[in-house]
Amino acid sequence: MQYLITLILTLFPRALVILVKVLTDWFNPVFHSWLWIVLGVIFAPVTLLWYSVIINWFYGQWGIWQILILIAAIIIDLVSWSRLRFDQD
């Protein structure tokens, strides 16, 4: 059961990024090529989503809350990588 929950939590942001890219034009103002989106899906999907929120909703304006949530998104991405690594033991 623990492995199933870890797998779902790890794959959900990645699947969300792929669905958003395929079904909408959300990433068009942010990234002009698929390279950054593919790298974001592989390495940091939550950070990729939050960065695109900053560009689309806050018009690229960085404030204290945007930075704090960006740090939280980076931590979430790092934790998902560490869970993948430690669950293989």
pTM above 0.85, yes or no: no
| Cα-Cα end-to-end distance for the chain | 16
Which residues touch 76 (CB under 8 Å, ≥6 apart)? 46
Average pLDDT over residues 53-71: 94
Q: How confident is the model at residue 48 (pLDDT cuts 50, 70, 90)?
A: very high
Give Cα separations from 50 to 55, 78, 83 (angstroms): 9, 15, 21
Cβ(44)–Cβ(72) under 8 Å? no
Give 83's pLDDT tier (boundaries 50, 70, 90).
Answer: low
Closest CA to 26 of 4, 9, 48: 48
